[in-house]
Amino acid sequence: MNPASSAPEQHDGLNAPFSTGAARPAFAVPQGACDCHMHLFDNAWPYVGPGVLTHPDATPQDYRALQRRLGLSRNVVVQPSSYGLDHRVLVAGLKALGGSARGVAVIDPTTTPAQLRELEEAGVVGVRFNLVQAGATHERMLEAVAALIRPLGWHVQIHAQARTLVDLADRLARLPVPVVIDHYAHLDTDPELRPAIEALLIRLLSTGRIWLKLSAPYIASPHSADFEELGACVQRLAARFVDRLVWGTDWPHVTEGARKPDDGALLELLSQWFSAEERHRILVENPRALYGFGM
């Protein structure tokens, strides 16, 4: 079964907006499991400009339905590039979700200390560079933004095509803050480049300051029916760096239009690829360390 194209299903009233299917995961999701990558949308607030990704309202209440279905208790709200530097949706969402949520913002070198304090008080613990979709950031800002957030103990999260990651690798390794690489580092978007990206990830993860986010396999491996090559790569990485891996849904799957994936099936990939102990590290212990959740 392709998790990104399974048919809608009704089961025990567990269906959630913008997610196909309704079945619970077949494995026991551990207490404190965290979805480290999801977004909120509120069309009462303007997008940053033409050409950005848009989406119907995706509210904290909508997301709670998905959490109940999957058995998740923590989450990280990632600012969509669509809103640029306007964090009103992010801050309101973090307030609604409470202490079980953390945030990842989008800033540039002009962001003031007062604005950073406001974001920190709301629960923000990192900043994102989206170098794939249109937005407010570009790679020339990396070092300046890292210098701004270093006193706060935040991390840089980066979404980039595989070839861009190759070009940026040395700079990412030198940043004075932790770095989180989105969406499996686009491991399987270009089969010819896959060995180079895997070797690059081994080098970066071995620094102990860089993390890989297992989110949106349909982005990282768009031509695969079962994500077999992607799974083989991350299993090899987990054998050495399981403490550097976190997982996320990418809900509400804005890149997928009306054809939403089955989040239960995407979570089930973890049971195919990892042991129960490894899943606990990826879903509970690693997010706790990276995002500052309590016990």
User: Known catalytic residues?
Assistant: 250
The kind and range of the H/E element at 35 are: strand 34-38
Nearest CA to 105 among 208, 94, 172?
A: 94
Q: Which residues of 51-63 are buried (b: 16+ CB within 10 A; e: fewer)?
A: ebbebeebbbebb
CA angle centred on 159, ends 295 and 24, rounded to 5° = 50
Q: Taking the CB of residue 152, how many other CB atoms lie within 10 A of it?
A: 17
207: left (phi over 0), alpha (psi -120 to 50) or beta: alpha
123: left (phi over 0), alpha (psi -120 to 50) or beta: left
Tokens of 206: 């071995």
CA angle centred on 116, ends 100 and 168, rounded to 5° = 90
SS3 24: coil
CA distances from 266 to 3, 64, 108, 253, 273 (A): 6, 17, 33, 12, 11
Whole-angstrom distance, CA of residue 94 vs CA of residue 290: 17
What angle, 0 to 180 degrees and rounded to 10, lies between the N-to-C axes of helices 142-149 and 162-174? 50
